[in-house]
Amino acid sequence: MKKVLAVVAVAIFTLGLAAAAYAFGPGGGQCGGCFGQNAQTANLTPEQTQKFAQFQKDILPLKQKMLQLRTDLIGLRTQQNPDWKAIADKQKEMVDIRVEIQKKRTEAGLPAFGPGFGCRTGMKGGMKGGMGRIQ
């Protein structure tokens, strides 16, 4: 029974995240997200804006993989006896994806954008929550 509830909870959480990501689009959200329109991206030249749009398209599979890893991580953490090695492996995969995104950003010739998914800066010192930090 507990396993069924855990699977249902993960499925609902995944659908909620997917719906939220779809509703806001890449980098959406209150703080503009990692790749959203913020003070730094608002000052891009038309050429940089075009590179930025292409960059967003290029990293979409990586962002989707990151979402899947987060979902898997939640599933691993909610087990009665968590497999800490598997959790560590998933976290390492997430770091590798973040590095890949940074590499692609640099290759595209784009500056570092915003605070990342956690919106660490901003209103009254920033929010401490969030889903990670990609910069």
Give the model's pLDDT for residue 31. Answer: 45
- The structural domain count of the chain equals 1
Distance, in Å, from the CA atom of 99 to the CA atom of 29, rounded to the nearest integer, reads 23
> Can you give the length of the chain in residues?
135
Cβ atoms 95, 84 nearer than 8 A: no
The answer to whether residue 34 is domain-embedded is yes
Look at residue 47 in the predicted model and tell me its pLDDT. Answer: 85
C-alpha of 81 from chain center: 27
For the beta carbon of residue 101, count every other beta carbon within 10 angstroms: 20
Task: Decide if 69 is inside a domain.
Answer: yes
Specify if 12 maps to a domain: yes
Q: Which residues of the chain have pLDDT under 50?
A: 27-37, 39, 115-135
- Classify residue 131: in a domain, yes or no: no
Give pLDDT, residue 132: 47
Q: Does residue 133 sit within a domain?
A: no
pLDDT, residue 133, reads 45
Does 134 map to a domain? no
pLDDT of residue 114: 53
For 85, the domain range is: 2-125
Q: What is the pLDDT of residue 11?
A: 72
- C-alpha count within 13 angstroms, C-beta hemisphere, residue 97: 22
Give a yes or no: residue 130 inside a domain: no
CA dihedral for 93, 99, 101, 103, sign (positive or negative): negative
